[in-house]
């Protein structure tokens, strides 16, 4: 499966609701960004190898609203959403072996535990 261009128009459809069992990687990038351009083939190859995961790309120049919603401060930034919950966000281009390791760790997450932790953090903030 190739990557999907993520926009404000298709965001809900691609990401799905909080109840969906979606697994989405998002690459925030821009055409003028050298590290973004070098990371693109690594990301595309991972998308081909892991067809059960949605690999999306957000052009931060064209989709400023989405970049702002994710508080993107530098690019490339990789974000992971599982079951409607943001479970990872980090700036920087990753080498292929590190991206593969990250995919494996994201697959192993206990989402019940993640949701409980998020709920506890929200309760503390209130």
* pLDDT (tens place) for every residue of the chain, 126 residues total: 589 999 999 998 888 754 456 899 999 999 999 999 999 999 999 999 998 899 999 999 999 999 999 999 999 999 999 988 899 999 999 999 999 999 999 999 998 998 898 889 889 888
Instruction: Round to whole Å and give the CA distance between 35 and 28.
Output: 11
Which architecture does CATH list for 4-125?
A: 3-Layer(aba) Sandwich (3.40)
Q: For residue 89, indicate whether it is catalytic.
A: no
Residue 54 pLDDT: 92
Question: 3-state DSSP: the chain helix, strand, coil percent, rounded to 5?
Answer: 45, 20, 35
Residue 45 pLDDT: 96
Instruction: Round to whole Å and give the CA distance between 92 and 22.
Output: 24
Residue 22 pLDDT: 80
Active-site entry in 6, 33, 78, 81: 33
**Which residue's structure tokens are 């499966």?**
1
Task: Record the tokens describing residue 80, joined without a space.
Answer: 């992971």
Q: So where are the chain's domains?
A: 4-125
Residue 79 pLDDT: 97
Asked whether 6 and 43 are in contact (CB, 8 A), the reply is no
Residue 15 pLDDT: 87
Q: For residue 33, indicate whether it is catalytic.
A: yes
Instruction: Round to whole Å and give the CA distance between 27 and 67.
Output: 10
Instruction: Round to whole Å and give the CA distance between 92 and 109.
Output: 22
Active-site entry in 15, 36, 66, 81: 36
Under DSSP, the state recorded for 30 is -
């Amino acid at each position: 499966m190739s990557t999907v261009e993520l926009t404000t128009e298709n965001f809900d459809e691609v990401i799905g609701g909080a109840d969906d069992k979606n697994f989405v990687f998002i690459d925030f990038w821009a055409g003028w960004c050298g590290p973004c351009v070098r990371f693109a083939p690594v990301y595309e190859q991972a998308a081909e190898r892991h067809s059960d995961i949605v690999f999306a790309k957000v052009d931060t120049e064209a989709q400023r609203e989405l970049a702002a919603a994710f508080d993107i401060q530098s690019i490339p930034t990789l974000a992971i959403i599982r079951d409607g919950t943001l479970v990872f966000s980090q700036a920087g281009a990753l080498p292929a072996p590190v991206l593969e390791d990250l995919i494996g760790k994201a697959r192993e997450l206990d989402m019940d535990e993640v949701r409980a932790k998020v709920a506890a953090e929200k309760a503390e903030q209130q």
